[in-house]
Structure 1
Amino acid sequence: MDFGVLGALRIATDKGPVRLDAHLQRVLLAVLLSRPNQPVATGVLQDALWGARPPKSAGKVLQVYVHRLRRALGDPERIRHDRSAYALVVHPGELDTDRFAALVDRARQAGDPAVAADLLASALALWRGRPLADLGEVPVLRADVERWAEQRLAAWEERAEAELALGRHTSIIPELGVLVDEHPLRERLRARLMLALYRSGRQAEALAVYDAGRRVLADEVGVDPGPELRDLHAAMLRADPELDPPPGARSLPGPAAPAVPAVPSLPMPRQLPAPPGPFSGRIAELARLDQALAATRTDTGGTAPVGGGAASGAPAAGGAILISAIGGAGGIGKTWLALHWAHRNAHHFPDGQLFVDLHGFSPTEHPIPPEAALFGFLTALGVAPDRVPTDLDAKAALFRSLVAGKRVLVVLDNAASGDQVIPLLPGSPTCTVLVTGRRKPAALIERYGARHLQLDVLSQAEAAALLAERLGDGRASDDPGARDQLAELCGRYPLALSVMARHAATRPAVPLGEFAAELRDLGLDMLDDDDPAAGLPVVLSWSLRHLTSEQRTVFALLAIAPGPDISLPAASALTGLTTARTHKVLRALEDASLLDRRRHGRYAMHDLIRAYAATLARDLPADTRDAALGRVVDFYLHTTHAADRLINVHRRPIRLDPPAPGVEAHPLSDIPSALTWLDAEHAHLLAAQRTAAAHHRHEVVWQLAWTLSSYHFRRAHRRDNVAVWRAALDAATRLPDPVSHVRAHRRLGAAYADVGRHEEAVSHLKQALALAEHHDNRTEQAHTRNALSAACERREDYREALEHGLLSLKLYQDLDQPVREARALNYVGWYYAHLNEHDSARTYCQAALVLYGRLHDPEGEGATLDSLGYIDHHTGHHEQAIHHYREALAMFRAIGHAYAIANTLDNLGHPHSALGQHHQARAVWQEALALYREQGRDTDTNRVQHQLDQLHHTTPTT
């Protein structure tokens, strides 16, 4: 575990690094680790956690923290309790502090400056910042932090002595400069920096370092430099030969730490594989990599811009190494991009380019260990194979020493994890590292500030260009429609495009359109190949090796979930896991580049990845698949029902069976939240109905249609309403309840009427009426008469509409259904108005308005106010009409009734126009026009456009 301690308090478990999010738990572990295998009194622990203000039940809270810590460590025996103390059991070699001390001791006993220097470099490489920096100031740990800091500085001073004895004065200047800046009162460090500068021919800078130290000592502690600094300064002033490097100073080889070879006399490695062959697109991504390099080169003192000649100039002390991590799914083109960029910018790295395929995701079962990768790097840098250290830390330290101050590019392709990469990182800011991998490298991003570049599919233009590159411009341009169709069927996925380009290029006589047809018919099978590196399904399968069994199951289930993507609550229902557990699994799939996190907490797969995951779902037990789909469909149904109850509070609810165990409806608090959820999930609800139908859940199919009706009306999803009620009617014929059959005919008839399919509307409504009369169901008779009146209105047969309306009104009054009675009153008034019987129209509509007011039904009030506006306008009361229409608009806007808003805006323009208020008429008609177009209401769109055209000819705009 790493607390930003340099690794001073890092401990491993069988389950991997321990992660503790709670600050106090991390403080607790830090205190126990700082006193390994020693009992720490509860009083000391409480003081570390809370200082002078412990909680009332501090003892019990401490027990809870210890319990959680045991669970996180994965071993209850790790923390032992004895009376009033706790002790953390630590085994030899588990703490970085122990490893650090052991390496320093070995260096002090080496008797060989080369061995000592490499051992000390390995020891110092364990440090990753100030100990416990991210825990804040914990008084109990202050002495430990100061002790570790002193040990580090002492080790650095000893390493500097060894490096100076070996003549490596130039390479240690940058790090010594940083340390002296951080510890300006440390005279021994300052002396080593002065000597390194002097031996590098930088006498003036060495003397400036002395002057700066003299001023700091005088200003901060009021003393002069000590004898060592004064004597060194004097010796420099007289150019004392004793300050020159020892005669023949060189790195002396030893069995544990080989000498640093004379690299400048050796050819530097050029390990980049051949660049990918026709490369297209990725312009934005290449630019981001260029910008990152340019920014870092500026920070580290480089002078030539990216794209120009080789850089020169010394790096600034303390600069950060540039690490660009290219991520994305298998086959998305990470290696292509990395190699293309590396070859294009190779001239910026005159000291060499190193490359290794780490096989994190490849046909081989085992990723390359960092020890093996370092061996290849070291031998490429001129180290004899028999002189390469056996210890990983020693290898890494030697590698960093060899490339220190060099302009070297290191390409680490196909990495499995950050642990595989970290030992391969140079320590010098003059080097650049390019990492590719399918998993997001959290450790590289968090510890080393790696710039992460996540690749997506190509744009349409880039995909077309790639096909043109592979097939030749002539063949691709002969049938651009087939080429573009092929690109879209491939999902603009680079490997899929390459596979299809290979098929087409090796069969030049076959038209591209045939390949597009085959891909449409065969899908993912068309992208398979016997070569494990050439087929998309096999390439994707390599990602599964790093997934747990649970993650694989969730990955497969997500592929068969209804809808184009999924929200976290729906995914939790699908998987049957808790929300927290589901989130963790989804994040793991996202980190593995198998899932994309989108806006508003939604998760999606690329179509080809989803198709591959669907093949895995077929291998799951049937009851596992069915149970998962049953849970998610229940989640959608019950949440839609809850939303419907909010947006249509006066509608009589239907009875639902309880959802599957563990499934709960998503909480919705009001109409806006209900509409927002329905808007976001609409495509998924339609898909959920299809899923229910495929699994013969006929009751659910009908219930989903019912619960969506009010929403479909408000949002003008008229064609979708037809589709869900057609499915509902098919399901209702398989249900024993005759009422469901009546309602399905009635609702489908009304839906057909809404889209202008009048014959089908009347046919279904008459079937509904016949069934209702057959079963003597007066309520359904009333509802069906009401629907028939609306259908007749859409055919502009207002007389027949009035007849059905009056019959439905009488039935509702007899049945004592005030909500339906109010609606029928308004409908009857509306039909009278269109028959120019305005007094009767006003009487019925005013009665409806009074009844709606008592019922607190804003939708009904808005509809009736719209009717009164129409009556006022057609009787010459235009000002009153505008007033009624605006009241109706306010109510419709408050409840998000887009369909009614469009109608009322359309109506409102007419009294404005009649009053000569052409600007206001134009404004409301333009808004209505936009809504009609959005809702796909072509007839209404054409009518309003004609009204606007007439208005324009009458009163031209200025």
Structure 2
Amino acid sequence: MNANGFTIGCGRLLRAHRLRAGLAQEDLARISGVSVRGIRMIENEQRRPRVSTVRTVAQSLRLSEADRLTLMEAAQPDSRPPQKPENHPRRVVPRQLPASPRGFVAREAELGRLDAALKPPTSLLCSVTGLGGMGKTWLAVHWATTRLDRFPDGQLYVNLRGFDPVTEPTPPYVGLRAMVSALGVPVDSVPADVDELAALFRSITADKRLLMVLDNARDAAQVAPMLPGGDGSAAVVTSRSSLCELVTEYGARSLRLGGLTADDSRRLLGEQWDAERIAREPDAVEGLISRCAGLPLALGIVAAHGVLNPDHPLGTIYRNLVDDSANSAEDGDDIVDDIRVVFDTSLRLVGGDASRLFDLLGLASGSGIDVYAAASLAGLPVPAARGALRELENAHLVSRDSPGRYRMHDLTYRFAAARSSAVIDEPETVAALHRLINHYILTGYRAGDAMQQGDAPVTENIGLTPRCVITPMADRAAAFDWVRREIEDFPRYQAIALAHGWYETAWRVADCTRLFIDEDAINAVAEQELWRVAIDAAEHLGPMHLARAQSRFGNLRLKTDPSDSEAVDLMLKAADLAAASGEVAECARTHFMLAHRFQHNGQKAQAIVHAKLALAFLTETEEPVMIARVHNMISWTLGSAGRFHDARRHGELALAIAREYGLSHTEATVLGTLGSNSHKAGRHAQAERLLRRAYTIHSTMAQNPWSAISLENLGDVLADSRHPDQASEAWRRATILFEQTFRIKDAERVRTKLDSL
């Protein structure tokens, strides 16, 4: 107690609240009606203020109930005579909810889920969680203020300040004290112990129908003591943390809040801006909606800037928002700074590994990342990376879009990208990117192996970068799913590699995709661009790299346009380069690819010419799989031309090689070719026998499209042999297998055959 008879601390508290509000003493005097001299004397603790003065100042500062009580208690003289405590609180019906947010739009589904979650007897506790700025408080307050009739004994509101950038989180004791005081318990009757106070609160609320909004909770431990007693009162808790313990230990329902749709974002802005202004600059409005990415906080700040600056073109606000480096006086930079504070406070929730991983994620693509890629990026063991991602998920800085895979909200990603350039030094950036890109290369090769499931794996021994891990592939379907998800980011990582002068790495980003090209879901045009860049990278490498890049680029061009003569010339140039450099196997592969393209386009004579050229070069190598594949192609092409004797000779050569070397996949493929040729020659019984053997071998392998090919061809034989029921069953099974292995066009072709029966 000081000489003026009141507890030391009132002045310091008032000063702290004023500074947090960003007000000078003169500003506070103007809005409160208290003189500047009076405020100065209170802050300097030169006199004891009147209770009415403290109340007026607290209201002007818009303090929470808990902060207002603390400030008023600090102003009370310690020498005041003790008051006789009341045994029972007086009847009070608190109405503490903030005003419902103006311009609240959408969220109809979420409001319905809150209705269901807080409907007795199922549950009376619900957590609303999500990224900072997602509108959790708005949703909770809007729901509460529109359902007052369900809670006739009143509504309590406590700001728990779990992520306040200035003050510490509200202690449970302070929140409880504010609530019991609001329910009529005199200050002098409030227990000093938090457990006793929590018990008193539960007793008071046991037979009431109250609604509590516990806003901005740090974690479940902060909330647990403040939960009401009985089964009539409900609590809505908002937080950036996932509050898992409230679900597991207290049976809470959980509502995770996502972003607004583009239409709802448009409605929100339409509540603030007049229709004429929006119609005048539709492109700017759409750009702002896209840039805000459905985050209500960002949309609200943008809307406010438009309201406060009615003469500013919306296009100016959009350009400044896009350019984070704009002058600090511009609208956009203010918006970015306001949003940045939200993410900074959320990051305080996570530990060291998670915080570092968040920064590094700004280097990766924003489309998503799996645990193994994240482990490679951060150089962490997989369990540690998984734990860091879960921490970030609990803080709503990432979200899980499938098992083991995470992504960021667009604005969160832009924030992470800005942080990564500011806090990660150049050597760590380079090392992290190198590990990440090598992860995608090595996993790409692994996916190629799993998708082909042939007798010659494509994965090359390029060595693992230290602390780089590969995403495991359980089967062909998993590999296909990985490729469809990740392939769109390959050009970005290839460009990064090229910019750093990692020419071998840039080349391999394309090379690891070379067995994807016959899959329906892979965009051949996009892959062409990978190989075009690979040609640029190969100019800095050896002739083998250049020859392979040219041949693959030409092959993809021919797939897109069979009449592309320049592509044929490029592949012939690549074959000559490979031969001149002693890379005869690469030369043979190029001729084999040309043969395959010509055969696919019905140019049988040219296909046979290039297949025989491939065989001639392969005699200088020890590649039995490739030799068998070429003989098999010649057999198929000759059979299609009606030259069955020569076709059988090449087929039997291929079959002998496959059996000598134990190449079961190749054996089954050759049996399928021999069966199809027998069908063309009219030998249906022999064709059926060969195709059934081919199917039997292929069906012992993991999920693959070759079983479906054998069944389709078997169905063709059975249909021509006048066994329509057996043909239908073979085609039906082939359709299912094609769909399971993502060969959608093949499935549609077989379905047409089924329809024709």
In the TM superposition, what is the alpha-carbon distance from 1:347 to its structure 2 partner? 1.4
How far did residue 329 of structure 1 move?
Answer: 0.7
Matched, 1:772 2:578: yes
2 CA distance for matches of 1:546 and 1:271?
28
Q: Deviations over 1:790-823 (max 9, x none)?
A: 2322332211221111122122234343222111
Match of 2:100 among 253, 266, 275: 275
Tell me which residue corresponds to 1:794: 600
Q: Call closer, same or farther: CA 1:943–1:601 in 2, change over 3 Å.
A: closer
Aligned match for 1:559, one of 362, 366, 371: 362
1:854 and 2:660 aligned: yes
SS of the aligned residue for 2:170 comes to coil
Tell me how far 1:421 sits from its aligned partner. 2.3
Cα offset, 1:936, TM superposition: 8.9
Q: How many correspondences in the alignment?
A: 669
Structure 1 partner of 2:155: 353
Q: 1:823 aligns with which of 622, 629, 632?
A: 629
- Residues 625-664 of structure 1 aligned to structure 2 (within 5 Å): 625-642=429-446, 644=448, 647-651=453-457, 654-660=460-466, 662-664=467-469
> Residues 505 and 875 from structure 1, CA distance in 2 versus in 1: closer, same or farther, beyond 3 angstroms?
farther
Structure 2 CA distance for partners of 1:829 and 1:495, relative to 1, 3 Å = same
- Equivalent in 623, 643, 661 of residue 427 of structure 2: 623
Contact 2:128–2:254, Cα closer than 8 Å, also in 1 = yes
Q: 1:717 aligns with which of 512, 515, 522?
A: 522
Match of 1:749 in 2: 554
What is the CA-CA distance between 1:437 and the residue it aligns to?
Answer: 0.8
Q: CA deviation at 1:762?
A: 0.8
Query: Does structure 1 conserve the Cα–Cα contact (< 8 Å) formed by 2:156 and 2:179?
Result: yes
| Whole-Å separation in 1 of the counterparts to 2:312 and 2:748 | 46
Segment drifting more, 544-553 vs 460-469: 460-469
Match in the other structure for 2:224: 422
Question: 2-side partners of 1:256 and 1:917: how far apart?
Answer: 101
* CA-to-aligned-CA distance 1:193-242 (integer Å, 9 cap, x gap): xxxxxxxxxxxxxxxxxxxxxxxxxxxxxxxxxxxxxxxxxxxxxxxxxx
Matched residue, 2:86? 259
CA distance in 1, matches of 2:748, 2:193: 80
Q: Equivalent residues in 2 for 1:520-599 (5 A)?
A: 522=323, 530=334, 535-562=338-365, 564-599=367-402
Change (3 A) 1:843 1:600: same
1:62-105: CA deviation from partner (whole Å, max 9, x where unpaired): xxxxxxxxxxxxxxxxxxxxxxxxxxxxxxxxxxxxxxxxxxxx
State the distance in 2 between where 1:905 and 1:480 align.
56
Going from structure 1 to structure 2, the CA distance change for 1:777 and 1:451 (only over 3 Å counts) comes to closer
Q: Distance in 2 between matches of 1:448 and 1:418?
A: 10
Alpha carbons of structure 1 residues 358 and 262: separation in structure 2 relative to 1, 3 Å: closer
State yes or no: 1:494 paired with 2:296: yes
* 8 A contact 1:351–1:406 mirrored in 2: yes
- 1:902–1:932 Cα contact (<8 Å) kept: no
Separation in structure 2 between the aligned mates of residue 515 and residue 917 of structure 1, nearest angstrom: 73
How does 1:285-324 map onto structure 2 within 5 Å? 285-296=110-121, 322-324=124-126
Q: 1:500, CA displacement in angstroms?
A: 4.7
Shift of 1:824: 1.3
**What's 1:739 paired with?**
544
- CA drift of 1:343 comes to 0.8
Secondary structure class of the residue paired with 1:815: coil
Q: 2:254 aligns with which of 445, 448, 452?
A: 452
* Amino acid paired to 2:610: H
The C-alpha deviation readout for 1:402-455, integer Å capped at 9, x for no partner, is 434222212111111233323333333332221111112244334433222221
Q: Which residue of 2 aligns with 1:91?
A: none
Structure 1 position 860, deviation (Å): 2.5
The SS at the match of 1:294 is: coil
Q: 1:362 to 1:747 in 2, by over 3 A?
A: same
Aligned partners of 1:853 and 1:861 also within 8 Å:
yes
1:530 alignment partner, SS class: helix
Residue 348 of structure 2 aligns to a residue whose secondary structure is helix
Distance 2:370 2:508 in 1: 22
Q: Is the Cα–Cα contact under 8 Å of residues 317 and 331 in structure 2 kept in the other structure? A: no
Identify the match of residue 610 of structure 1 among 409, 413, 421: 413
> Which string of whole-angstrom CA distances, capped at 9 and with x for unpartnered residues, describes residues 479-534 of structure 1?
9999778655543333334345556677889999x6998599558989956379x9
> Using a 3 Å threshold, how does the CA distance of structure 1 residues 614 and 895 change in structure 2: closer, same or farther?
farther
Q: How far is 1:334 from its partner?
A: 0.6
Secondary structure of 2:149's aligned partner: helix
SS, match of residue 422 in structure 1: helix
- 1:440 lines up with 2:242 in the alignment: yes
Rounded to whole Å, the distance in 2 between the matches of 1:686 and 1:888 is 39
CA distance in 1, matches of 2:747, 2:458: 34
Letter in 2 for 1:449: G
Call closer, same or farther: CA 1:932–1:272 in 2, change over 3 Å: closer
The answer to which of 346-355 and 844-853 deviates more is 844-853
SS of alignment partner, residue 655 of structure 1: coil
2:440 maps to a residue whose letter is Y
SS at match of 1:325: strand
**Alpha-carbon deviation of 1:349?**
1.5
Whether the aligned pair in 2 keeps the contact of 1:718 and 1:754 (CA below 8 Å) is no
Pair 1:942–1:570, CA change in 2 (3 A): closer
Instruction: Report the AA paired with residue 837 of structure 1.
Output: R
Deviation larger for 835-844 or 460-469:
460-469
Instruction: Give the superposition deviation at 1:786.
Output: 1.7
Q: How far apart are 1:673 and its partner, in Å?
A: 7.0
**CA 1:322–1:942: 2 relative to 1, 3 Å:** closer
Letter in 2 for 1:448: Y
Give the drift of 1:702: 2.5
**Cα gap change, 1:727/1:817 in structure 2, threshold over 3 Å: closer, same or farther?**
same
Which structure has the larger Rg over C-alpha atoms? Answer: 1
| Mean Cα deviation higher: 271-280 or 557-566 | 557-566
TM alignment of 1:941-952, pairs within 5 A: none
1:675-694 mapped onto 2 (5 Å cutoff): 688-694=493-499
Residue 686 (structure 1) shift: 6.4
CA distance in 2, matches of 1:441, 1:832: 68
1:329 partnered with 2:131? yes
* Distance in structure 1 (CA, Å) of the matches to 2:618 and 2:267: 66
Alpha-carbon distance between aligned partners in 1 of 2:356 and 2:188, rounded to the nearest angstrom:
47
Q: What is the DSSP-based 3-state SS (H/G/I as helix, E as strand, rest coil) of the residue aligned with 1:330?
A: coil
Structure 1 residues 426 and 487: alpha-carbon distance in aligned structure 2, compared to 1, 3 A threshold: same
**How far apart are the structure 2 equivalents of 1:937 and 1:450?**
44
**AA aligned opposite 1:750:** N
| 1:384-403 superposed matches below 5 A | 384-385=186-187, 388-403=190-205
TM-score, structure 1 as length reference: 0.62
Query: SS where residue 427 of structure 1 aligns?
Result: coil
Q: CA deviation at 1:748?
A: 2.1
Which residue in the other structure is 1:405 paired with?
207
SS at match of 1:546: coil
Q: Does 2:518 align with 1:706?
A: no
* C-alpha spacing 1:872/1:501, structure 2 compared with 1 (3 Å): farther
CA-atom RMSD in angstroms: 4.2
Q: Which amino acid aligns with 2:109?
A: A
State the match for 1:69 in structure 2: none
8 A contact 1:866–1:904 mirrored in 2: yes
Among the aligned pairs, what percent are the same residue? 33
Superposed counterparts of 1:36-47, under 5 Å: none
Change (3 A) 1:344 1:883: farther
Deviating more after overlay: 797-806 vs 713-722: 713-722
Residues 782 and 807, structure 1, Cα contact 8 Å, conserved in 2: yes
> Which one has more relative contact order, counting CA pairs under 8 Å at least 6 apart?
2
Q: How far has the Cα of 1:617 moved from its partner?
A: 0.9
Q: Distance in 2 between matches of 1:784 and 1:475?
A: 61
* 1:156-175 mapped onto 2 (5 Å cutoff): none
Structure 2 spans left out of the alignment, 5+ residues: 1-79
AA in 1 matched with 2:548: R
Relative to structure 1, the CA distance from residue 408 to residue 816 in structure 2 (aligned partners, 3 Å threshold; closer, same or farther) is closer
